[in-house]
Amino acid sequence: MELAINYSPAAAKLVKKKDLPIDRFKCPDWPWMVEEALRLKPVAVHFTLSAGSGKLHETDWELVGRLMEQTGTPYVNMHIDPLQKDFPGIPLDTRDPAHVQLVTERLVQDVGAAFERFGADKMIAENVTYYGPDNPKISTHDKTLRPGVLPEVIRTLLDETGCGLLLDIPHARIAAHYLGVNEREYFASLPVERIKEMHVTGLHTLENGYLQDHLAMLESDWPSLDWVLERIHSGEWATSWLLAFEYGGVGKKFEWRSDPQVIAAQVPQLAQRLNGFLRM
């Protein structure tokens, strides 16, 4: 299992000093950033594609294929993200079976559009967050419909399209929290036998109670990762080709969460866990 971290100026400086034990940088599908990161390390491209909007026909598929070939990224990822704005009239927390069916059909249709171009063996779908209807901090971008995080919907999507699972660990923890279900039971109910890639970050509870990911790992975050790795090692779950630490980035939005001290301390901890996992 390879280890990656989000490309950031802070991480790049540590790589130049040979102080960062990573295999790849993780980059969005921005050609300029991919080129910049490739000067230092191999790159895993994380595509900004979402299933559920019905707008995948606008995708530059030639660019997707070109970036995969340029970097050796083995999968086209797609976020399972049916947003409320794309389903007018459906409540965020809907439990209506007709709504669940509609969302499922849209997701299958969207993923199928990419399947026709790349094949099921090159496709992975990522579980996303869900914050419920009463969280004052959620933006339009975060208003994912409840059916989009239901394990049965995700399983149907993967069964009908044949694609793999990109297991985002903090996303699953957030979804479980706001669904009001046990975290580990939620994980286990996902199609974990189809894991191809994984993401991890710290999960912080802000002053208003809002759960925020893409932050430094806390002591309370490591047990979730360790438990996931144990399930993989035991053979209960499928093995991932990559674990990406989604911390840091480029631009003002990420400056405050690209602390070089955090990167220098926590990447070796992740590498040590993966090395131990491989030796087990």
pLDDT tens, 225-277? Answer: 999 999 999 999 999 999 999 999 887 777 777 899 999 999 999 999 998 87
* Residue 140 pLDDT grade (very low, low, confident, very high; cuts 50, 70, 90): low
Distance CA 201, CA 217 (A): 6
Contacts 24+ apart (CB under 8 A), 47-50: 47/76, 47/77, 47/78, 49/76, 49/77, 49/78, 49/79, 49/114, 50/78, 50/79, 50/81, 50/83, 50/110
CB atoms within 10 A of CB 14: 19
Burial of 33 (0-12, 13-18, 19+ CB in 10 A): middle
* Residue 278 pLDDT grade (very low, low, confident, very high; cuts 50, 70, 90): low
CATH classification at residue 122: 3.20.20.150
In sequence order, the β-bridge partners of residue 26 are 6, 44
Alpha carbons within 13 A on the beta-carbon side of 181: 17
Whether the pLDDT of residue 279 is over 50: the answer is no
Reported as a single tens digit per residue, the pLDDT across 21-47 is 999 999 999 999 999 999 999 999 999
Which structure tokens are listed for 24?
A: 């790849």
Angle at 202 between CA 190 and CA 169, to 5 degrees: 10
> Could you give the angle at which helices 9-16 and 260-279 cross, rounded to 10 degrees?
60
The helix (H) or strand (E) run that includes residue 234 is helix 222-234
Q: Residue 211: which residues within 8 A CB-CB, separation 6 or more? A: 131, 173, 174, 177, 203, 204, 205
Domain that holds residue 163: 2-279
> Max alpha carbon distance in the chain (Å)?
56
Q: What percent of the chain has pLDDT over 70?
A: 96
pLDDT at 212: 81
Domains held by the chain: number: 1
Are 7 and 22 in contact by the 8 Å Cβ rule? The answer is no
pLDDT at 165: 98
**Average pLDDT of the residues in 64-77:** 97
Average pLDDT score over the chain: 92
Whether the pLDDT of residue 108 is over 90: the answer is yes
Distance CA 158, CA 125 (A): 8
Whether the pLDDT of residue 153 is over 50: the answer is yes
* Residue 142 pLDDT grade (very low, low, confident, very high; cuts 50, 70, 90): low
Angle at 196 between CA 47 and CA 227, to 5 degrees: 115
pLDDT at 137: 56
